[in-house]
Amino acid sequence: MSIEARPKEYRVNHPMYRSYIDFLRDLKSSFLDVPRLFVQKTTFKNQASWLKTFKGVRGLRSEVVQNDDVAYVPFWIDPNQFNVKMEEAMYGTAMLFNSLLHSEDDRAQLVKRIIGIAPYIEVREDKDGSGVDGDRDAGEAIDAEIIGRELAVQGLNGQKLVWLSPHSYEAYKMISRPVIPIPEKKPYKMSVEVLPISSAPLFAQKVKDANLVSENTVIVSLDKGSLQQCVHFVDLLGLDVKTNLVAFDKKRKGHNQVKDLSMIYGNPEMFKGKDVIIYDDLIDTFGSMKSTCEALKDLGCRTITIIATHGVLSYPARDNILDAIATGIVNKVMMTDSLPYASDYFEDLKEHVEIVNVAKLLGVFAQLFSVSSVEDLRRDPTLSPYIVIPEDKERYWRSFKKRVGLQ
């Protein structure tokens, strides 16, 4: 990683950003869309990683000078995409934050504030490995806790983070409220103001445009962890949660393998002749997803569309998706471009695999977030559909049962 000084401009480069050049280009273009901010754009040099803006009115130099510098820092923590260890994936991001905010007697810090933009953070190991249900290996790393501490220590403490579709309530909590244990003393509590962005409104518009929404549509939640987002998606489509949603829960035998899939809301008869949309946060190998789709086909559903925010796409995901489409098990797959494999793997399958751009959405919200709080943004009816604060899945399950009258 290197930092190059230019008059009134800084460019921060990191090798991993080469894979995200298209995403960063779209993100950069979004910084022309919010008129309330004066924007001084940096220039891409192979792979740019942040944009420098000021609060104020365009053209009023006195107001611009009086306001603090804000660095918008897009970053990904996704070791699987680069086949590296978690600490390697985190190193560049942590050093970037540190470099932007570090100051010494003869060196002022480059910026006063940071708005982190995280299209994807790999935090699926978000539980203690000592659970009694035997679903997890003892001693597994709690990734979200480790990442939260590192990001906060290196510069995000007291700063803001725009995060696309956090994997779980536990991950959201650990990164927004990281705690540093100190032997024989009270733990040091830190704080990152996190704005969790949902891609559900983007997908909702896509399926409406494709005429995939009717009273014959059934939305499927694969587990309690995805139920909150699925209910939000159903509401955005204008469907009835009581009659257009089926919820499952699952227990895993091992990584990427589903041991048991049980229906916790709905009944098998709801699938006969229906158009099914499975809504989840990510697609990994697509192995368990393919098995689930085969089972739903056996129950008589007419079509199946898969929607996932993140295309992790570990091997052999592409082969599994191609086979599911070729055999008619799956009719369509939708993902965002939060990870590069989603765009790279399916250039020849645009009819069946649609990639939804989220860069501009994240860029706009990052700018709004720089001058507003999470609660301010949630009070705006045009913005609130994009903001879903993760809830504890068991607590949400209890509130869901009350909503649908389930005893």
For residue 143, give the 3-state DSSP assignment: helix
SS3 percent helix, strand, coil of the chain, rounded to 5, is: 40, 25, 35
Distance (Å) of CA 293 to CA 254, 305, 316, 330, 384: 20, 9, 17, 7, 32
Please give the single-letter amino acid code of residue 182.
I
- Which structure tokens are listed for 378? 């949630």
Report d(CA 95, CA 148) in Å as an integer: 14
- CA torsion sign, 304 to 391 to 399 to 200? negative
Pairing of strands 51-55, 275-283: unpaired
Query: Does the N-terminal peptide bond of residue 316 adopt cis geometry, omega within 30 degrees of 0?
Result: yes
How buried is residue 241: exposed, middle or buried, by Cβ count under 10 Å (0-12/13-18/19+)?
Answer: middle
- 250 catalytically annotated: yes
Q: Give me 309's structure tokens.
A: 């925010």
Q: Which residue in 41, 206, 250, 360 is the catalytic one?
A: 250
Active site positions, annotated = 250
